[in-house]
Amino acid sequence: MSNATPPSPRDAPKPTRRPQAHAGGSRGLPPGAKPEWLRSLAHAALDGQLDAARLRAMPHEEAMADLKKLPGIGDFSAGLTLLRGAGAPDAVPGQEPRLARAVALAYGLPGPATPEQLREISESWRPYRTWVTLLLRTRLEYETGEITGRQGHARTAPN
């Protein structure tokens, strides 16, 4: 096992070309595109474009639009970057499929919450929408095990 640390963004070579968005998303990337996107994102981080305080200070829609200018970043990635990467305390990733399923589970909806339902329901969570989002996703994982494959594994204190 190696004790090597991952390279810092400063060590990433400059992109040789501007990565182009691809209709298929990350699963349908043309060969070699993902490393170019990652190098571009590393340099965007160095240039301050991913600075958490900067993103939190922006209005939500402006921060989303700013993030989506970066290569390989769409609605889903931009929403989670604001939520988790920038630590936005009161945000809801409207394009996150697991959250739509988690809200359906918690609120007894017949199917995944639509973006409109999510917006309406999440208004009552203010100013802690990020935390409620995290808790709902945790509950979904506990109930379904869709990420870990381990359904119903709660942490319990020993007797």
- For 113-147, the DSSP string reads PPHHHHHHHHGGGTT-HHHHHHHHHHHHHHHH-TT
Assign 21 a pLDDT band (cuts: 50, 70, 90).
very low
Please check whether residue 109 lies inside any domain of the structure.
yes
Looking at the structure, do residues 109 and 76 belong to the same domain, yes or no? no
Distance CA 113, CA 121 (A): 9
Range of the domain at 120: 91-159
pTM for the model: 0.61
Please check whether residue 5 lies inside any domain of the structure.
no
Please check whether residue 157 lies inside any domain of the structure.
yes
pLDDT of 143 strictly over 50: yes
What does the pLDDT average to over 95-116?
93
Say if CB 95 and CB 76 are below 8 A apart: yes
Please report the pLDDT score of residue 24 as a whole number.
42
Looking at the structure, do residues 71 and 133 belong to the same domain, yes or no? no
Q: Residues 3-37, buried b or exposed e (16+ Cβ, 10 A)?
A: eeeeeebeebeebeeebeeeeeeeeebeeebeebb
Q: Which of 46, 61, 88 is the last residue of a domain?
A: 88
Please report the pLDDT score of residue 140 as a whole number.
92
pLDDT of 156 strictly over 80: no
Say if CB 99 and CB 133 are below 8 A apart: yes
Q: What is the mean pLDDT of the chain?
A: 80
Please report the pLDDT score of residue 19 as a whole number.
47
DSSP 75: H
